[in-house]
Amino acid sequence: MPTITFDIDDLNKLVGKKLSKEKIEELLDYAKGEIEATNGNELSVKSADTNLPYLWSVEGIARLFRGLLGLEKGLRQLRPEKSKDKIIVDKSVRDIRPYIAAFSVKGAKVDDYLLKQIIQLQEKFCHSYGMKRLKVAVGVYNYNKIVFPVHYKAVLPESVQFMPLGFKREMTLGEILEIHPTGMEYAHLLKGMASYPLLVDSNKAVLSFPPIINSEYSGKVLSGDSDLFFEATGNDREAVQLAANIFAFAFAERGFRIRAVTIDYSGKKEESPAAFKDSIKVSADDANKMLGLNLKEAEVKQLLEKFRYGYDKGKVLIPDYRRDIMHPVDVIEDIGIAFGFDKIPARPLKTYTIGSTFPVTKFVDKARELAVGMGYQEIYSPILSNTNLLYNLMDVEDFGTVEIENPMTELFSCARTWILPQLMELLSMNKNTEYPQRIFEQGLVTMKKDLKDFERMAVVTAHTKADFTEIKQALDFIMGNFGVKYGIEDTVHHSFIPGRVGRVIVNGKGVAYIGEIHPKVLANFGLSVPVAAMELNLTDLFEAIKK
């Protein structure tokens, strides 16, 4: 969810009306935006819609606001001036980064503020919608330093060198990926490719090495520049064209004249920016059915125009800076927003249904109640844990763990397979708290075998006199209250003292371990009181006693 920053005065100028902060806040609801911070005249606005990048610019927001305020309505179209500027796309980029869109602008001046706005939109667009430049990367240049036609081609990494933005010396493309900070950050995008994309003009001056970095020569825009060149490259044709459209519309809001560039794909020519001229059929009926309203066609048309769509006899004309419309529901949402969510009447859900929980949910809740009744404090832990705690400190072998390939920290690098270790850790953390410490936790564990989850409950008593008798009394109490007959078999479990550990059997199925914790394990947790514990598999127990 991108956050952008702009000046309120600038927004007001672009809208053509002075808006209070409250009004801006209200209008931002329509744009799924939310003010995150205010710093004097400056607003930071978070946009919730990751699919509507035109709203990640103050120019785009202002365009929508003008519609919502009735200052303008309907579709806004871009009418680029013709030019002789051309980009010749070489076949060599076809398998690397095949698509490019471009235009140039004239007639207004860039100042520091506008430069920041351009860079902001560029960053937000390329990071989020452009998938960190994989799908789309964007470059802006000083138009006057470029000699057309520009060539877009793939070259060998060591065959070209130029001075990258921010550096005082020439480097080969390979070097840039190894040394330049931006090169290093995005090098993975070109991993395994024999040649790299390059934009170079007719004087053999490099414009940029997309999607990595611009040249210091022409790829550096300064305050005071008025003639700019824009290009977007990527592996998604529509996304690349959308980038050009969004930027061209933004520049147009600023009073720039937009000039077209011809893209020549080996003889197949197209004008850029390209108008999608997309439309979708949406009827008033569809909208009413979904929104629960009673709109007439004329009203629908009015609402659509307020939201900057065009409408022509059942056909909704989609602005060229939007590519998010896949289905009529996308338009219907905007009709609803334009109508006002707050004005749509709320209705109660009509059908009577009976709520319920899973039988096993009720079962585990009863087990928890019994543990509380015995005076045990309930604990609630994260499910994520680590194998050192689950096995090493408990002196047992790994019994099949779901481990995370990309853990954020070793502390949370697998799903827990049992709960007792987390309770031991808790005892270890609370050595200076009053004893007795009687605690339990009921919750899910996940086993690698069949990737199955189980409801479990660990019950632990720690104090100077804690022993097997006490924990077996607890087991008796729980089993007795469920009306379950159980047996205990001698077993070996290294977390417990040999001869003081048992496997609890119900209807032939092992459902719990119970015993006194081994002094070696107590030492691992730095504990100096005896601990008796049990861990019940409630899922298995529930299955074993189900009638």
Partner 1 sequence: MDNVKQVLNSLHPLERKTLPFLKEGITLNELIGKTGLKDVEVMRALQWMENKGIIKIRQELKEVIELDRNGEDYKIKGLPEKRFLQQIAGKKEAKVSEIDVPAAELNIALGMLRQRAAISLRKDEKGELIVSATDHGKSLAGKESLEELFLKKLPTEVSQLQPEDRFAYDAFRKRREIIKTSVVKIRSVELTELGKQILNEKSSLKLDVIDALTPQVLKEESWKHKDFRAYDIKINVPKIFAGKKQHYRAFIDMVRGKLVSMGFKEMSGPVVESDFWDMDALYMPQFHSARDIHDAYYIKDPKYGQIDETIMKKVKAAHENGFGTGSKGWRYAFDVLRTKRLLLRTQGTACSARKLASKDVEIPGKYFGITRCFRYDVVDATHNCDFNQTEGFVAEEGLTFGHLKGMLKMFAEEFAQTETIRIVPDYFPFTEPSAGLLAKHPEMGWIELAGSGMFRPEMTKPLGIDVPVIAWGIGVDRLAMFALNIKDIRQLYSHELPVLRSMKVMY
Binders in 212-271 for partner 1, by CB under 8 A: 236, 238
- Contacting partner 1 within 11-30 (CB under 8 A): 29-30
CB 23 within 8 Å of CB 73: no
Segment interacting with partner 1 (CB under 8 A) among 15-23, 48-56, 104-112, 181-189: 48-56
Does the footprint of partner 1 cover residue 291 (CB under 8 A)?
yes
Question: Which lies closer to partner 1 via its Cβ, residue 328 or residue 510?
Answer: 328
User: Using the rule CB under 8 A, which residue among 40, 326, 492, 547 binds partner 1?
Assistant: 326
DSSP class of residue 133? T
Does the footprint of partner 1 cover residue 32 (CB under 8 A)?
yes
- Measured from the CB of residue 266, what is the shortest distance to partner 1 in angstroms? 24
User: Using the rule CB under 8 A, which residue among 151, 438, 456, 518 binds partner 1?
Assistant: 438
Angle between helices 21-30 and 8-15 (to 10 degrees): 70
Which strands make up the sheet holding 437-447, listed edge to edge? 377-378, 437-447, 452-462, 531-537, 509-517, 496-506, 487-490
- Contacting partner 1 within 467-486 (CB under 8 A): none
Question: Which lies closer to partner 1 via its Cβ, residue 5 or residue 446?
Answer: 446
Maximum Cα–Cα distance across the chain? 93
- Measured from the CB of residue 38, what is the shortest distance to partner 1 in angstroms? 14
State how far the Cα of 404 lies from the Cα of 395, in Å rounded to an integer: 22
- Contacting partner 1 within 329-348 (CB under 8 A): 329-330, 332-333, 336-337, 341-342, 344-348
Tallying the residues shown for the chain, one arrives at: 547
State how far the Cα of 385 lies from the Cα of 338, in Å rounded to an integer: 48
DSSP string, 15-53: HTS---HHHHHHHHHHTTEEEEEEETTEEEEEE--TT-G
The pair of structure tokens assigned to 493 is: 């479990």
Give the pairing of strands 384-385 and 452-462: unpaired
- Measured from the CB of residue 356, what is the shortest distance to partner 1 in angstroms? 5
Question: Which lies closer to partner 1 via its Cβ, residue 71 or residue 411?
Answer: 411
The pair of structure tokens assigned to 351 is: 């059908």
Q: What is the CA radius of gyration of the chain?
A: 33
- Measured from the CB of residue 412, what is the shortest distance to partner 1 in angstroms? 4
Segment interacting with partner 1 (CB under 8 A) among 58-66, 95-103, 147-155, 440-448: 440-448
Question: Which lies closer to partner 1 via its Cβ, residue 47 or residue 215?
Answer: 47
Question: Which lies closer to partner 1 via its Cβ, residue 99 or residue 376?
Answer: 376
DSSP class of residue 204? S
- Measured from the CB of residue 416, what is the shortest distance to partner 1 in angstroms? 10
User: Using the rule CB under 8 A, which residue among 365, 398, 410, 490 binds partner 1?
Assistant: 365
**x/- binding map, residues 373-412, to partner 1, per CB under 8 A?**
xxxxxxxxxxxx-----------------xxxxxxxx--x
Question: Which lies closer to partner 1 via its Cβ, residue 384 or residue 484?
Answer: 384
In the block, residue with structure tokens 């919608």: 129
- Measured from the CB of residue 448, what is the shortest distance to partner 1 in angstroms? 8
Does the footprint of partner 1 cover residue 444 (CB under 8 A)?
yes
Does the footprint of partner 1 cover residue 39 (CB under 8 A)?
no
Tell me how many residues contact partner 1 (CB under 8 A).
89
Closest alpha carbon to 458 in 514, 501, 387: 514
- Measured from the CB of residue 37, what is the shortest distance to partner 1 in angstroms? 15
Question: Which lies closer to partner 1 via its Cβ, residue 218 or residue 461?
Answer: 461
- Contacting partner 1 within 293-312 (CB under 8 A): 293
State how far the Cα of 468 lies from the Cα of 414, in Å rounded to an integer: 31
DSSP class of residue 374? T
The number of C-alpha atoms within 13 Å of 150 and in the hemisphere containing its C-beta is 29
User: Using the rule CB under 8 A, which residue among 415, 424, 531, 534 binds partner 1?
Assistant: 415
- Measured from the CB of residue 23, what is the shortest distance to partner 1 in angstroms? 15
Residue type, 235: N
- Contacting partner 1 within 119-178 (CB under 8 A): 128-129, 131-132, 135
SS3 293: coil
SS3 125: helix
Name 3's bridge partners: 46
Give the pairing of strands 33-39 and 377-378: unpaired
- Contacting partner 1 within 69-98 (CB under 8 A): none
